[in-house]
């Protein structure tokens, strides 16, 4: 049998629960957390894209096909490796981001993915986005320029629409 009266244990348990709830309430309001500064906006780059093949497909001649076993006589041979994605973003004529993403997969034949976020000042800005997804060494395959007016705490997302093959800024 317990040495403490039953009412006292219930009261002590209630006080401990109240203390626990009070600590939770305190830390849910304090210290204050601000996702962004008062006059800041957020620019997010979020791209998952399958680059072009690094090498062109080859059609072997009839003699070459005849030398192969019947199970390996494909009319076309396409190397699997894909080109990396190269992204450049300029904000008001100044470089904001320069990055390259390698394709995924063991054979480098998967999609390349890129996720970056940058805090920028709210207000009027000119954004230039350039992306290369081919084997070329210079220049870009896709470009988009836009003037935007960012409000404080606004999030601007830069993406690539693979179906339309264009960079989106929204």
Strand partners, 100: 86
Distances in whole angstroms, Cα of residue 50 to Cα of each of 11, 45, 80, 137, 141:
64, 16, 12, 18, 13
**pTM for the predicted model, two decimal places:** 0.76
Structure tokens at 128: 């230039």
pLDDT 10s per residue in the chain (170 long)? 566 788 889 999 999 999 999 999 999 888 887 788 889 999 999 999 999 999 889 999 999 989 999 898 888 988 999 999 999 999 999 999 999 999 999 999 999 999 999 999 999 999 999 999 998 888 999 999 999 999 999 999 999 999 999 999 99
What are the start-end ranges of the H helices in the chain? 6-29, 62-67
d(CA 96, CA 128): 10
Q: What kind and span of H or E run contains 69? A: none
């Amino acid at each position: 049998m317990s040495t403490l009266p039953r009412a006292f244990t219930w009261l002590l348990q209630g006080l401990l629960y109240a203390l626990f709830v009070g600590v939770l309430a305190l830390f849910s309001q304090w210290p204050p957390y601000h996702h962004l500064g008062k006059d800041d906006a957020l620019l997010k780059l979020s791209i998952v894209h399958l680059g072009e093949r690094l090498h062109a497909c080859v059609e072997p001649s009839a003699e070459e096909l005849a030398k192969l076993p019947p199970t390996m006589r494909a009319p076309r041979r396409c190397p699997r490796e894909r080109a990396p994605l190269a992204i450049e973003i300029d904000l008001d004529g100044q470089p904001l981001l320069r990055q390259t993403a390698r394709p995924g997969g063991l054979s480098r034949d998967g999609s390349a993915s890129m996720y970056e976020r940058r805090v920028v000042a709210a207000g009027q800005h000119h954004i230039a986005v350039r992306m290369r997804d081919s084997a070329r060494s210079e220049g870009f395959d896709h470009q988009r320029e836009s003037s935007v007016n960012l409000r404080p705490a606004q999030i601007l997302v830069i993406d690539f629409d693979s179906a339309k093959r264009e960079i989106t800024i929204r």
